[in-house]
Amino acid sequence: MPVDDFLAGLPKVELHLHLEGSLEPELAFSIAKRNAISLPYADVEDLRAAYRFTRLQDFLDIYYRGMSVLRTEQDFYDLTFAYLTRMHAQSVRHVEVFFDPQAHTHRGVPFETVLDGVYRALIDGERLYGITFHLILCFLRHLDEEDGFATLEQALPHQDRIFGVGLDSSEVGHPPAKFSRLFSRCRDEGFTVMAHAGEEGPPDYVWQALDGLQVARIDHGNRALEDPELVRRLAQSGHTLTVCPLSNLRLCVVDRMEDHPIRTMLEAGLRPTVNSDDPAYFGGYMTENYRAVVEGLALSREEVVRLARNGIDGSFASNDRKAVLHDELNAYLAQTA
Ligand code: HPA
Ligand code: ZN
């Protein structure tokens, strides 16, 4: 079986996906049109041509501009459902997705409008495609902790629909420690917590996420490899790293896919997983991210299977659901042996 077909059919789990980063230019234009908003780009090609980044902040500027077309509950539904339809076509079986409520409430879109649209689509995706999910609220780290607390107050009445909280946006200059009181409160409220760390920020930010925020998972974590003591710590604690290969390439976290550290992470006894981050902006969804590392690093079938298993084991799915996902993976491996 050709490797592309094997990767397309491989049952997969996505643990690092910003819903707003799955907004394809075509959908952005059609939503802009129905909301009578004009985008500062001539057409879809012109917008896609703007997707050239040399660092995280260049991307974030365009990411926030793109999502500004999202206004109604239906917009958030359509965004989320389009993502799930793609994931169904790519044999993705479980997703844990981020949303950035502050990026919407600061534009005057009510918190409930965002949550209701996203959640309705997630329920439909589970019903129609069998894709199970968790929804994770990300705090924007370029804003202050008080803004985060205000957002938490808006989230608390909806805790039945929000599984966990994360920390995203501009990393350098906004260390995890800036949010230690907020994350402590979130843990007390029963949210599972995670944080982006070590994408552009130094290994110390990963230490802060672990020891200060007490995260259950590290999003990215690439730069942890610069600190041998931190590598030992992560290997021992078994924290999952939600690695995003095409994102790393597009944001120049790595220069070439041949230099991507995901195999080094495996060899160091860490638990990396493959994810897409902001697929509309970085050139690919789950299958494309697997393909990128398989081609760039000539990963073996065993290494690919290890990454897929890490996705299941590193998820926050129930033990029963994890067992089903492993069974599906095992059946697929037997069938493609
Ligand atoms: N890093 C930080 N913040 C983000 C990202 C990312 O890759 N994508 C969306 N928000
Ligand atoms: Zn991310």
Percent above pLDDT 90 for the chain: 99
Q: What is the pLDDT of residue 36?
A: 97
**pLDDT, tens digit, for every residue of 253-283?**
999 999 999 999 999 999 999 999 999 999 9
Q: What is the pLDDT of residue 120?
A: 99
Q: Which ligand is nearest to the CA of 96?
A: 2
**Ligand 1, from 142, 276, 278: best to mutate by most atoms within 8 Å of Cβ?**
278
CA dist., res. 242 & res. 194, Å (int): 10
CA dist., res. 337 & res. 335, Å (int): 6
Residue 199: active-site member: yes
Report how far ligand 1's centroid is from the alpha carbon of 196 (Å): 8
Q: What is the pLDDT of residue 261?
A: 98
**Strand pairing class (164-168; 192-197):** parallel
The arithmetic mean of pLDDT across residues 152-165, rounded, is: 98
- Determine the angle formed by the axes of helices 111-129 and 73-89, rounding to 10 degrees: 30
Report how far ligand 1's centroid is from the alpha carbon of 169 (Å): 5
Cβ atoms of residues 154 and 161 within 8 Å: no
Q: What is the pLDDT of residue 58?
A: 95
Please give the distance of CA 276 from its chain centroid, rounded to a whole number.
Answer: 6
Q: What is the pLDDT of residue 157?
A: 98
Report how far ligand 2's centroid is from the alpha carbon of 274 (Å): 12
Is 219's C-beta closer than 6 angstroms to any atom of ligand 1?
A: no
Report how far ligand 2's centroid is from the alpha carbon of 336 (Å): 32
Going by alpha carbons, the residue nearest to atom 7 of ligand 1 is: 277
Give the total number of structural domains in the chain.
1
Q: What is the pLDDT of residue 229?
A: 98
**pLDDT, tens digit, for every residue of 191-228?**
999 999 999 999 999 999 999 999 999 999 999 999 99
Domain range for 203 is 3-335
Going by alpha carbons, the residue nearest to atom 2 of ligand 1 is: 169
Q: What is the pLDDT of residue 299?
A: 98
CATH of the domain at 254: 3.20.20.140
Cβ atoms of residues 133 and 125 within 8 Å: yes
Atom of ligand 1 nearest to the CA of 171: 2
Is 78's C-beta closer than 6 angstroms to any atom of ligand 1?
A: no
Q: Which of 73, 171, 199, 200 is catalytic?
A: 199
CA dist., res. 327 & res. 160, Å (int): 28
Is 278's C-beta closer than 6 angstroms to any atom of ligand 1?
A: yes
The arithmetic mean of pLDDT across residues 307-335, rounded, is: 99
Cβ atoms of residues 20 and 99 within 8 Å: yes
Percent above pLDDT 70 for the chain: 100
Is 250's C-beta closer than 6 angstroms to any atom of ligand 1?
A: no
Atom of ligand 1 nearest to the CA of 247: 7
**Ligand 1, from 61, 194, 277: best to mutate by most atoms within 8 Å of Cβ?**
277
pTM for the model stands at 0.98
Is 247's C-beta closer than 6 angstroms to any atom of ligand 1?
A: yes
**pLDDT, tens digit, for every residue of 37-96?**
999 999 999 999 999 999 999 999 999 999 999 999 999 999 999 999 999 999 999 999
**Ligand 1, from 18, 83, 289: best to mutate by most atoms within 8 Å of Cβ?**
18
Angle of CA points 62, 67, 69, to nearest 5°: 120
The arithmetic mean of pLDDT across residues 220-238, rounded, is: 98
Q: What is the pLDDT of residue 207?
A: 99
Going by alpha carbons, the residue nearest to atom 4 of ligand 1 is: 169
The arithmetic mean of pLDDT across residues 243-253, rounded, is: 98
